[in-house]
Structure 1
Amino acid sequence: MCVFVFDGAQRLALCPAGRGVSLYIPQPSINATVREDILLSVEYSCVGVPTIEWKYTTNWGEQKIVEWKPGTQANVSQSHRDRVCTFDNGSIQLFSVGLSDSGYYSIKVTEHLGSSQFGTIILHVSEILYEDLHFVAVFLAFLATVAAVLISLMWVCNKCAYKFQRKRRHKLKESKSEEIELQDVEC
């Protein structure tokens, strides 16, 4: 009989030596982006050489991905041929995932005496929306252009204000000198 231990989001089945299968899933939930290679990582322990089977489940049903015994040739489904790599520890790697790869990936490890262990990894694949990035880049360029125009406008206004003040000072000096001349004439 196996004892289940829950460590946060990780599940571990501990079985007494020589009996049953134990399965450990270090990352039960994976977020990925389109065209990324991802590793569905697991570790198992059991007596003898087990049979490892991975299935993919979505709202549209369940599909077998791969089945193999460590050290032998893997039987990969036609839908995942050239997209899956198997490892002797029970892990698989999916190459160039797409949006349709989002779903539940179930592993079943069965030893030759018939005991088995199940585990599930949830994969969420999202798309990088380059249109959004393009919009942000165009918006930032627009803001930079507006800032440059405003700075130029402020510079022109400052120059005009400076010239206006110079003319005003010059006229003020002229008017003061005329007043002084007028005062001199009146005396």
Structure 2
Amino acid sequence: MYTPADRYTHLLRGLETIRTLAERADRTAIARLLSQPVAADHLDEPTLDFLRQAQDLLITTTRTLAVALEPTGRPSAIDAAEAWRRAHLYLPRRGDELVLIHLDEFEDAYQAIPVLVDIPEPPPVPTLETATTLVIDKATGTVTRWPLLPLDVLTRQYRRYKLDAPMSFDE
């Protein structure tokens, strides 16, 4: 007979397996498959819509359940490698090409900046793909999109954001 601790461990492992599979799935391949005429011929629009959103739904649901099941009620802190992996999930791709990510760490979080490099002949200096950046919170792993700001300004603004304090750029 399984003990409550065994069931808890089994449940967490199952959630981690589902989340890992969902995170490893190729968004571009899923979108390409669902855009095929055969998909539209055999599936109704609500089903196609669900399949388009299933990856994000699974990731969010498994993360939420894992947090809710944590004894502290909070997820464990993440490191730079995990922040990079999460940024990779949220940043857009250029077709089948992966996007390079520059990661900066500050006290409360990580800033992820997409860097566009032409392949196979990279330019001497990478250029920014967009004028936005991602911030991945160290304590919760929450990913938020921000305008590209100097790191010291972003650090101040992010701290205010976490405190629900008004943000001002007049300093």
Shared fold per TM-score greater than 0.5? no
Comparing both structures, which one devotes a greater share of its residues to helix? 2
Which protein has the larger Cα radius of gyration, Structure 1 or Structure 2?
1
Normalization by structure 2: what TM-score?
0.26
Comparing both structures, which one devotes a greater share of its residues to strand? 1
Normalization by structure 1: what TM-score?
0.24
